Structure 1
Amino acid sequence: MNTGLRITVFAAALAATFGTAYGVGSGVGEISPEPASAAHGKHAGGTRAEQGGGHEQGHEPDGQQPEGASAAPAPPGGLQISDGGYTLDLKTPRLEADKKTQLRFAVVRASTGRQVSAYEREHDKELHLIVASRDLTTYRHLHPTRAADGTWSTPVELPEAGGYRVFADFTPKGGEGLTLGADLAVSGAYEPNPLPARNTTATVDGYDVALKGALTPGKAGELDLTVTKDGKPVRDLQPYLGAYGHLVALRSGDLAYLHVHPNGEPGDGRTRPGPDVSFTATAPSEGAYRLFLDFKHEGKVRTAAFTVRAQGTGAGSGAEAEATPQAGSGNSDESSPHGH
């Protein structure tokens, strides 16, 4: 990487950028998966659109809107560091590029000021941690370990300096699913990267993944991904976190987050272990989105990455993921951290 701006300069710009991004994100809707089954209905991407915990400003105590007022949409997941009475406490707010470091954090309950130590298990884990660069060229899906006092930690090594966003996707015991986000600074020589070009095929570790489908603002659409190796369909995908694939969608610009799950799951009597994995999602707005598919085969988790664009509304006007096919790439790892 050419010598660029030092992170000290970048950090100030990042703070201003995030402030703007939050304002944009709050003004649009949430990427929303259509629930495929009751098993996935509880965890809806980390916002509180249907939660009753507390009264928002401008609401009457009985939950009725004041006369003439309109309900404000819940912001997309991951744009807020505090929501639903919980705060993400990032204890490691900065790292060095290309240096393995323990990333530590906790979830704090506002009513008690204490770190949360009891969680519901969702897709085989108490908490899912995503780390993504602001330019969406680096992605890590991590599975940290929790200490008895509620402190989470995981080793992480990020390749380039710049701004990153940390997403904690979890359900506190007896509560509703949330996704909280916090900024992470990675020091070193910084040079921003452009958003990767739109692509419908990605190659990772000898596997080819093809994407078909559309994202249409405000309308549910199918995203179908097909995994092949050496030109042959992979029909023995292995369950990973209780599914044959996990899809994380991040909106370019503000990194609005959604952890989407497939239509069907292992053992339901109708879902086959590949080569196809399908999802249903609704884009909240026009614009570019980065999609990261995690899948497991032969004991390893791989990540295939795609850039798609949502535009237009109504039937037949969605952005089909078939423009400008280009080869993507991803990285694999024998342990749970993996990324692009």
Structure 2
Amino acid sequence: MDHQHDNMEGDSEIHTNVSYNDGEVRVQLEDVYGAVPELEKNHEKEMHLIIVSNDLESFIHLHPKRVENGVYAASKELKGGSYQAFVDIVPKVQNYVAQPNDLQVGEGDQVTPSASLSASKDRTQDIDGKTVTLETDGLSTNDTTTLDFYLHGEEPEPYLGALGHVVILDEDAETFIHVHPTSDYKTTFETHFAHPGLYKVWAEFKYKDAGVLTFPFILQVDE
């Protein structure tokens, strides 16, 4: 079930445009010839849209629905500020690489992504009464990195066809990685980092009594 999207996989044959107006996020798609691409379902949805604030503090995972040919929309109230939006899709034919889309909400100029990250010393997060601990192996560009999430006795429910979802961005919000568990039975993920540096990780798990919760971590990747 594992898959990874990042922006190091060649040239994209699909262009994306993300806009926001009055509580609605819209995504427009077209390929390099101006045609509308056909999409495969990817973990139960045609489109996953990840929106992060430019300081990487806010994280939003939406599933826009097709409202017209090549246009998808989702309702979401966003606070004023500068964001980066990543359109996660699987076209039936064309090559696609997720790229950051500038998204400005409210007045003001779009601000360049700038996050003051430092690696998490404590890799245990408590969110809404739930606790998750992250253990890693192979945090370098030379290795496959394993991310093991321990839910302290909790059993996550399947969420969009997987036991969890992990989204990773570098501190410049340019490199986008989205991975799923390596099996149907445990919350272990694998990925590869092409460049050293600081990365922010958001792990999403669904609980029977709490719904979907997001647990953030910051990792230092060495060469």
What TM-score do you get using the length of structure 1 for normalisation? 0.58
C-alpha spacing 1:105/1:189, structure 2 compared with 1 (3 Å): closer
The alignment status of 1:108 with 2:30, answered yes or no, reads yes
Alpha-carbon distance in 1 for matches of 2:214, 2:67: 28
- Matched with 1:144 is 64
The offset of 1:196, in angstroms, is 6.2
Contact 1:134 1:255 in 2 (8 A): no
For residues 53-109 of structure 1, give each alpha carbon's deviation from its aligned partner in whole angstroms, at most 9, with x where no partner exists: xxxxxxxxxxxxxxxxxxxxx4xxxxxxxx4321102243xx6xxxx6101121112
The offset of 1:304, in angstroms, is 0.5
Alpha-carbon distance in 2 for matches of 1:164, 1:286: 23
For residues 84-142 of structure 1, give each alpha carbon's deviation from its aligned partner in whole angstroms, at most 9, with x where no partner exists: 321102243xx6xxxx610112111221x2333x2101111111100011211111111
Bigger proportion of residues as strand: 2
The alignment status of 1:226 with 2:150, answered yes or no, reads yes
Bigger proportion of residues as helix: 1
C-alpha spacing 1:252/1:193, structure 2 compared with 1 (3 Å): closer
The alignment status of 1:45 with 2:1, answered yes or no, reads no
Contact 2:49 2:85 in 1 (8 A): yes
Contact 2:131 2:151 in 1 (8 A): yes
The alignment status of 1:120 with 2:40, answered yes or no, reads yes
C-alpha spacing 1:143/1:278, structure 2 compared with 1 (3 Å): same
Letter in 1 for 2:82: G
Contact 2:43 2:160 in 1 (8 A): yes
The alignment status of 1:243 with 2:162, answered yes or no, reads yes
- Matched with 2:205 is 295
The offset of 1:285, in angstroms, is 2.0
Alpha-carbon distance in 1 for matches of 2:105, 2:99: 19
C-alpha spacing 1:253/1:153, structure 2 compared with 1 (3 Å): same
* Partner SS state of residue 202, structure 1: strand
Letter in 2 for 1:157: E
Q: Which runs of 4+ in 1 moved over 6 A?
A: 189-193
Alpha-carbon distance in 2 for matches of 1:48, 1:217: 13
Letter in 2 for 1:294: E
What TM-score do you get using the length of structure 2 for normalisation? 0.86
Q: After superposition, where does 1:71-90 map in structure 2 within 5 Å? A: 74=10, 83-90=11-18
Letter in 2 for 1:247: V
The offset of 1:44, in angstroms, is 3.8
* Partner SS state of residue 91, structure 2: coil
For residues 222-264 of structure 1, give each alpha carbon's deviation from its aligned partner in whole angstroms, at most 9, with x where no partner exists: 1111113xxxx103x1111111011001011243100011111
The alignment status of 1:205 with 2:133, answered yes or no, reads no
Aligned match for 1:133, one of 25, 31, 53? 53
Letter in 2 for 1:222: T
Alpha-carbon distance in 2 for matches of 1:148, 1:162: 28
The offset of 1:306, in angstroms, is 0.5
The alignment status of 1:163 with 2:120, answered yes or no, reads no
Contact 1:45 1:177 in 2 (8 A): no
Aligned match for 2:219, one of 308, 312, 327? 308
C-alpha spacing 1:91/1:254, structure 2 compared with 1 (3 Å): closer
Greater shift after overlay, 130-139 or 294-303?
294-303
Alpha-carbon distance in 1 for matches of 2:133, 2:6: 28
**Bigger Cα Rg:** 1
> Please, what is the CA RMSD of the aligned residues?
2.5
Greater shift after overlay, 208-217 or 197-206?
197-206
